[in-house]
Amino acid sequence: MALSVLFFLLLAAAATVNATDHIVGANKGWNPGINYTLWANNQTFYAGDYISFRYQKSQYNVFLVNKTGYDNCTIEGALGNWTGGKDFIMLNKTQRYYFICGTGGCFNGMKVSVVVHPLPSPPKSAISAEHSSKKSAAPVAARGFGSLLATSFGLFGLILYDSIWT
């Protein structure tokens, strides 16, 4: 039982370890006078990653806009906005995202556009953990433990699996 819990935790870790937090501007944060195209070109964004903005919330903010908003520094019809000063935004779609500052900073370079790529295929065990985790935790542990035993010990594993879980 202890082993199955450990194995479940390993599977869960394997399924989630890929999410990266991309801090806009790295240690320079979200501020005027920075070329965020250079920053974005130096990162690879995958679906499920986060982009995070660190800034003085009394001065700046973050708007999710479309290409027109990005090109023209306009927030009409914005798709979202954040004002917390330390905002984490999940990039859950494989598309191009456009973010700008809505307080005028956009005209001074506070705009960033990122392309989100599909997640590279995770290992098989991570896929099964990810899919079954939508149901409940117990079957994931049971299935993960069962397949570990089956591959390690063959028939003996299946017998042991049956005796433990049925």
Shortest CB 109 distance to ligand NAG, Å? 6
Among candidates 25, 2, 47, 4, which has minimal Cα distance to 157? 4
* CB-side neighbour CA atoms (13 Å) of 73: 12
Shortest CB 51 distance to ligand NAG, Å? 15
Task: Select from 47, 78, 142, 160 the one that contacts ligand NAG (CB under 6 A).
Answer: 78
# binding residues, ligand NAG (CB under 6 A) = 18
Q: Where are the alpha helices (DSSP H) in the chain?
A: 2-16, 36-41, 67-72, 124-132, 137-153, 155-165
Cβ atoms of 94 and 79 within 8 Å: the answer is no
Using the rule CB under 6 A, is 44 a contact of ligand NAG? no
The CA R_g of the chain, rounded to the nearest whole Å, is 22
Contact set for ligand NAG, span 109-148 (CB under 6 A): 109
Closest residue to ligand NAG: CB criterion: 77
Shortest CB 102 distance to ligand NAG, Å? 7
Integer Cα distance of 80 and 50 in angstroms:
15
Task: Select from 16, 44, 56, 68 the one that contacts ligand NAG (CB under 6 A).
Answer: 68
Binding mask 17-36 for ligand NAG (x = CB under 6 A): ------------------x-
Task: Select from 81, 103, 113, 133 the one that contacts ligand NAG (CB under 6 A).
Answer: 81
Largest distance between two CA atoms of the chain? 68
